[in-house]
C-alpha cells in the first residue's frame, strides 16, 4: 500500500495551487494528486457549453505566483484550462497527478494518525480496479459541483415537452441549434454566458427567469489589466518558463 505525506483531491484550479505551495514550502514532503477525469482543469475541463467563461476577473481568480497576463480580464474556458495546464507542466506538478482515479471513501485513524483513501481507477479498456492509498494530510480540492450530474429541478409534466432538453454541464458535442427556437431557464452566470453565444446562430433565444435582473455591458479589456499584463509578461511571473505562456 502506497503512502504519501499529502494527498490532494482534484487537479483543477485549486488542486494545482495547493500542490505548488506544498512544493515550495514543504519540498521534502511527498504528495499525489488523484483526478477522476482524464485531463487537468477540473471545472474548466468539465464545462464545454458555448461561450463558457469565467464569471469573475482573472486578476483575482488567477494564481498569485503566476499572474494572469492576458489583456482579457474575463477569460474563455479553454484559455483558463490552458493556464492551469501550463502552470502544472512548468512547475512539474503534472508528474504527481494520477488520472482516472475516482475517490470513493476516505477514513481517518486517530491511532495511526493517517487517512486511508479508497479510489476506483478506470483502465483504458473501461474496466475498473480498486486502489487504496494512505496519507497524513488529505486536501479536498474537488470543488462544489456534482460531476456525475448537474442540478435539475423537477418540472411538472416535463415529459410532455417534445423538443430536446439539455443541461449545460453535459452539453453534447453534436448539438445543432442553428435556426432553432431556444429557451434558457434561469438568469445566473451560466445563462448570461450561454445566451449571447447561442444567439449568434439560433433562430430565437428566450431567457426565462423568476425575477428580473440588471445587466450592464462592459468592455472585456480593462486598462489596468492591460498595463498589469504587460509588466508581468516582461518580468516573467514564474521565471523564464512563464514567458512561454501565450494567451489571447
Cell numbers describing residue 168:
449545460
Q: Where in the chain is the domain with CATH 3.50.50.60?
A: 2-146
Helices (H), the chain: 13-25, 43-46, 58-61, 77-90, 189-199, 223-235
pTM of the shown model:
0.82
pLDDT at 239: 41
CB atoms within 10 A of CB 231: 12
- Identify any residues that bridge with 234 across adjacent strands, giving them in sequence order: none
Distances, alpha carbon 63 to alpha carbons 17, 69, 144, 207, in Å:
7, 11, 19, 34
Question: In the CATH scheme, what is the code of domain 2-146?
Answer: 3.50.50.60
What span, in angstroms and rounded, lies between the C-alpha atoms of 244 and 234?
11
Nearest to 20 by CA among 67, 65, 83: 65
- Per-residue pLDDT tens listing for the chain (248 residues): 899 999 999 999 999 999 999 999 999 999 999 999 999 999 999 999 999 998 888 888 899 999 998 888 889 999 999 999 999 999 999 999 999 999 999 999 999 999 999 999 999 888 999 999 999 999 999 987 777 778 888 889 888 988 899 999 999 989 999 999 999 999 888 999 999 999 999 999 999 998 888 777 777 666 655 555 555 555 555 543 333 322 22
Contact 83, 68 (CB under 8 A): yes
Nearest to 12 by CA among 41, 37, 32: 41
pLDDT tens digits for range 51-95: 999 888 888 889 999 999 888 888 999 999 999 999 999 999 999
pLDDT tens digits for range 176-195: 999 999 999 998 889 999 99
Cell numbers describing residue 127:
474496466
Amino acid at each position: 500500500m502506497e503512502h504519501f505525506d499529502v494527498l490532494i483531491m482534484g487537479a483543477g484550479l485549486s488542486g494545482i495551487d495547493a500542490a505548488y505551495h506544498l512544493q515550495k514550502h514543504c519540498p521534502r514532503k511527498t504528495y499525489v494528486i488523484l483526478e477522476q477525469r482524464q485531463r487537468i482543469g477540473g471545472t474548466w475541463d468539465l464545462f464545454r457549453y458555448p461561450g463558457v467563461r469565467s464569471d469573475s476577473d482573472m486578476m483575482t481568480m488567477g494564481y498569485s505566483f503566476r499572474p494572469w497576463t492576458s489583456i482579457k480580464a474575463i477569460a474563455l474556458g479553454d484559455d483558463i484550462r490552458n493556464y492551469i495546464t501550463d502552470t502544472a507542466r512548468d512547475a512539474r506538478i503534472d508528474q504527481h497527478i494520477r488520472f482516472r482515479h475516482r475517490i470513493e471513501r476516505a477514513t481517518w485513524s486517530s491511532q495511526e494518525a493517517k487517512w486511508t483513501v479508497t479510489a476506483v481507477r478506470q483502465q483504458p479498456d473501461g474496466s475498473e480496479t480498486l486502489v487504496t492509498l494512505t496519507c497524513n494530510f488529505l486536501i479536498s480540492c474537488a470543488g462544489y459541483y456534482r460531476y456525475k450530474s448537474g442540478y435539475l429541478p423537477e418540472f411538472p409534466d416535463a415529459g410532455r415537452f417534445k423538443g430536446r432538453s439539455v443541461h449545460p454541464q453535459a452539453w453534447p458535442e453534436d448539438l445543432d441549434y442553428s435556426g432553432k427556437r431556444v429557451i434558457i431557464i434561469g438568469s445566473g452566470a451560466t445563462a448570461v454566458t450561454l445566451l449571447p453565444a447561442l444567439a449568434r446562430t439560433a433562430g430565437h433565444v428566450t431567457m426565462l427567469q423568476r425575477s428580473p435582473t440588471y445587466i450592464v455591458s462592459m468592455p472585456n479589456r480593462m486598462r489596468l489589466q492591460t498595463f498589469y499584463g504587460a509588466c508581468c509578461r516582461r518580468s516573467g511571473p514564474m521565471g523564464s518558463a512563464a514567458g512561454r505562456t501565450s494567451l489571447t
